[in-house]
Structure 1
Amino acid sequence: MAAKDIFHEAVKRALEKDQWIITKDPLELEWEEVLVKIDLGAERLIAANRGNEKIAVEIKSFVSISAISSFHTALGQFLNYRIMLEVNDPERLLYLAVPVEAYQTFFQSRLAQVVIKPYQLKLIIYKPKTEEIIQWIS
């Protein structure tokens, strides 16, 4: 079993506070012989006549010594998971959840900003201590 991120439960509770129903923990996707596990799958009712909104969330803490190394890993996972979702669950949008401290520092760097745009990273910015989502970036 893959290790959960140290902020996994905090993000899970933050999503639940935002009226998301956690449907998969983890969300497993398979394509031929490749199996991936995205941290969370969640849904919520948009409106009575519009159905459910579905997301997948990959949670990252960015607590390692090297933010760039964490970013490389997160970006690679995000891109691979997005392709897996397009094949297996195309209605589900993929988000990368990052703590507010990482967003306010590393994610404001020129490199991060230049990378985020062409790869269309969707972000959830969260506060781990208060278990709340403070911003969605699509």
Structure 2
Amino acid sequence: MPRRDTTHNIIKQAIIKDGWSITDDPYVISYGERFLFVDLGVRRSHFPTQPKGSIIGARRDRTRIAIEIKEFRGLSAIADLEQAIG
């Protein structure tokens, strides 16, 4: 499992304060024999049902999202962005 960014818990608490519920930390997507790790899966607290098997890891009302947390602390923000998105 990849190392967490230093801001992971700060962002997680901000998401919770905004009314989301964390469903997965991390949200794991299986792709054949490979596994992809998305930092957080969440859903809106007052909308309790989430479909099983959904590839989306977060939900707010009827909107679902997966949240990937990235920090750009290198000498070049462009190089960091390139590294983050591959």
Q: Please indicate, yes or no, whether the TM-score normalized by the shorter chain is above 0.5.
A: yes
User: Residues 21-60 of structure 1: matches in 2 within 5 Å?
Assistant: 21-44=21-44, 52-60=62-70
Which residue of structure 1 lines up, in the alignment, with residue 73 of structure 2?
Answer: 63
**Most deviating of 53-62 and 34-43:** 53-62
Larger helix percent? 1
Which residue of structure 1 lines up, in the alignment, with residue 2 of structure 2?
Answer: 2
User: Residues 1-138 of structure 1: matches in 2 within 5 Å?
Assistant: 1-44=1-44, 52-76=62-86
Q: Tell me how large the CA RMSD over aligned residues is.
A: 2.1
Report the secondary structure of 2:6's partner residue. coil
Aligned counterparts of 1:63 and 1:5: Cα–Cα separation in 2: 11
Measured after TM superposition, the shift of residue 70 of structure 1 is: 1.2
Larger strand percent? 1
In structure 1, list runs of 5 or more residues that go unmatched.
Answer: 77-138
Report the secondary structure of 2:68's partner residue. strand
TM superposition outliers: structure 1 runs of 4+ over 4 Å: 45-48
Aligned counterparts of 2:38 and 2:23: Cα–Cα separation in 1: 12
In structure 2, list runs of 5 or more residues that go unmatched.
Answer: 49-60
Measured after TM superposition, the shift of residue 73 of structure 1 is: 2.1
Aligned counterparts of 1:47 and 1:35: Cα–Cα separation in 2: 28
- Structure 1 residues 43 and 74: CA distance shift in structure 2, 3 A: same
Q: Identical aligned pairs, as a percentage?
A: 38
TM-score by length of 1: 0.48
Which residue of structure 2 lines up, in the alignment, with residue 113 of structure 1?
Answer: none
Report the secondary structure of 1:11's partner residue. helix
TM-score by length of 2: 0.74
